[in-house]
Homo-oligomer: A and B are copies of this chain.
Amino acid sequence: MQPNVTTLLSQIRQTKARNLFARDFLLTWEKELPDIERILLVAEALQLLRQDNISTRCYDSGLAVSIFRDQSTRTRFAFASAANLLGLEVSELDEEKSQVAHGETVRETANMISFMADFIGIRDDIYLGEGNAYMREVGAALDDGYEQGVLQQRPGLVNLQCDVDHPTQSLADLLHLKHTFGSLDALRGKKIAMSWAYSPSYGKPLSVPQGIIGLLTRFGMELVLAHPEGYDLLPEVAKLAEDNARQSGGSFALTHSMDDAFCDADIVYPKSWAPFRVMEQRTELLRQNDKAGLKELERQCLLQNARFKDWQCTRERMQRTRNGEALYMHCLPADISGVSCETGEVEAAVFEKYRIQTYKEASYKPYIIASMMMSMGFEDVAGVLEQLWQEGKARKFYPH
Which A residues fall within an 8 A CB radius of B? 47, 50-51, 55-63, 65, 73-74, 76-78, 80-81, 84-85, 87, 89-91, 93-94, 103-105, 108-109, 111-113, 115-116, 118, 144-145, 148-152, 332-333, 336, 339-340, 356, 359-360, 362-363, 365-366, 377-378, 380, 383-384, 387-388, 393-397, 399-400
Question: A149, B360: Cβ atoms under 8 Å?
Answer: yes
Q: Which residue of B lies closest to A383 (CB)?
A: B399
Cα–Cα distance between A270 and B313 once the two chains are bound (Å): 58
- If A60-B57, A116-B84, A396-B118 touch, whether A93 touches B108 (CB-CB below 8 Å) is no
Q: Please give the distance in Å from A315's CB to the nearest CB on chain B.
A: 18
In the complex, residue of chain B having the shortest beta-carbon distance to the beta carbon of A83: B89
A73, A103, A108, A151: most-surrounded residue (chain B CB, <10 A): A108
Q: What is the minimal beta-carbon distance from A121 to any residue of chain B, in angstroms? A: 14
Nearest neighbor of A364 in chain B, beta-carbon distance: B115
- 5 more A-B contacts (CB under 8 A) besides A85-B116, A384-B399, A388-B397? A62-B395, A73-B94, A81-B116, A148-B356, A384-B397
Q: Which B residues are CB-close (under 8 A) to A58? A: 396-397
Q: Chain B CB within 10 Å — which of A104, A394, A400 has the most?
A: A104
Partner of A359, one of B74, B76, B145: B145
Residues of B within 8 A of A333 (CB): 105, 108
**24 A-B Cβ contacts within 8 A?**
A50-B152, A60-B394, A63-B80, A63-B84, A73-B93, A74-B112, A77-B112, A80-B89, A85-B116, A89-B90, A90-B91, A104-B336, A104-B339, A105-B333, A108-B332, A111-B359, A111-B362, A112-B359, A112-B362, A115-B363, A115-B366, A150-B359, A380-B399, A384-B397
Q: How far is the CA of A105 from the CA of B332 in the complex (A)?
A: 10
A393-B61 Cα distance, complex, nearest whole Å: 11
Cα distance A380–B399 in the bound complex, in angstroms: 9
Nearest chain B CB to A322 CB, angstrom units? 24
CA A55 to CA B360, docked complex, whole Å: 36
Interface pair A84/B61, CB less than 8 Å apart: yes
Tell me whether A332 and B112 are in contact in the complex, defined as CB-CB below 8 angstroms, given that A63-B81, A63-B84 are known contacts. Answer: yes
Let me know if B396 and A59 touch, CB within 8 A: yes
Q: How far is the CA of A43 from the CA of B65 in the complex (A)?
A: 23
In the complex, what residue of chain B is closest to A118 when comparing beta carbons? B396
Q: How far is the CA of A396 from the CA of B60 in the complex (A)?
A: 6
Task: Report the bound CA distance from A336 to B108 in whole Å.
Answer: 12
How distant is A117 from chain B, measured CB to nearest CB, in Å?
8
Contact in complex: A60, B395 (CB < 8 Å): yes
> From A110, which residue of chain B is reached at the shortest CB distance?
B359
